[in-house]
Amino acid sequence: MAASTPRVLIYSATEQFRHDSIPTAVQALKGAGDTYSITFDATEDRTLFTDGNLSQYDALVFLSNTGEVLDDTGKDALQNYLNLGGNLVGIHSATDCLNTTEFYGKEIGAYFDYHPEIQNATINVVDASHPSTSMLPAQWQIRDEMYNFKSDPRNVGAVVLLSADESSYTDDGERKYDQGSPHPTAWYQEQGAGVQDGGTPGRSFYTSLGHLNETWHDETFMAHIMGGIQWALDANTTRAFNSSASVGNGDASAVETTSSSAPEASQS
């Protein structure tokens, strides 16, 4: 039982391709907040990545980000937040941002490489015991982008939950990297690998799904997303669940929701 309502910050800034599903996703997450007893704030303002502001949150959700969405000050604040037990959730192209920031790459699990054309595909549930997958059919039929990655997330200790069935869709792209087998589509880290030595690792959860607006209206997909977020919060490393923790459960009334006018670039 949470001591109080956990607070989560959605960060959806983009510097390259911008998904038109971002506003739909933000609305869907905020709408699910009451059901799951989670307070969501949303921003695209990188200047809010400060030690003081991030310390209010029990988890950060990086939502469909692309490109260099934080400056050095923001990256330092993110590293400090993770070191203090903060939790990270990444959705869709959150693996296609901060591509040269080593700790972020470890915390998210792997970086995006490329995807074939959007199409219908089968997702296999590798681990049905996780809160993000327990409600899913063993073979989940979905229309989305089947991401390929530049490394195997298992290399940093991630546990793969969902796997793309490569026989169910067409991918004519060139595989330059070893992403491991079975094909990783969603995963978690019980202790986020981006935390520096001596830090208190929180949890990390990532799903590559979520490209289309209609996906965010799908009850099964939302149960997958919210199960992952709730699991991350259950790390007990933040104030909503642990009164002796160093971050979480603060007053975020100063947070402002901003919009981005970043140009579209290569698709993610």
203 in a structural domain: yes
**pLDDT confidence of residue 83:** 98
CB 210, CB 91: distance < 8 Å = yes
Total domain count for the chain? 1
238 in a structural domain: no
Specify the 3-state DSSP secondary structure of 85: coil
CATH number, domain with residue 146: 3.40.50.880
251 in a structural domain: no
Low-confidence ranges of the chain (pLDDT < 50): 1-2, 251-268
86 in a structural domain: yes
Cα separation, 96 vs 41, whole angstroms = 22
263 in a structural domain: no
**pLDDT confidence of residue 33:** 96
**pLDDT tens-digit series, residues 167-184:** 999 999 999 999 999 999
**pLDDT tens-digit series, residues 244-255:** 999 998 544 433
**pLDDT confidence of residue 55:** 97
Total-model pTM? 0.93
Mark out the alpha helices in the chain (DSSP H runs).
22-36, 51-54, 72-83, 102-108, 219-233
**pLDDT confidence of residue 3:** 60
Strand boundaries in the chain, DSSP class E = 7-11, 39-43, 59-63, 66-67, 87-91, 96-97, 112-114, 119-125, 139-144, 148-149, 159-164, 184-189, 204-207
46 in a structural domain: yes
244 in a structural domain: no
Cα separation, 32 vs 56, whole angstroms = 20
Cα separation, 244 vs 238, whole angstroms = 8
Domain that holds residue 122: 7-233
219 in a structural domain: yes
Buried b (16+ CB within 10 A) or exposed e, 206-215: bbbbbbbeeb
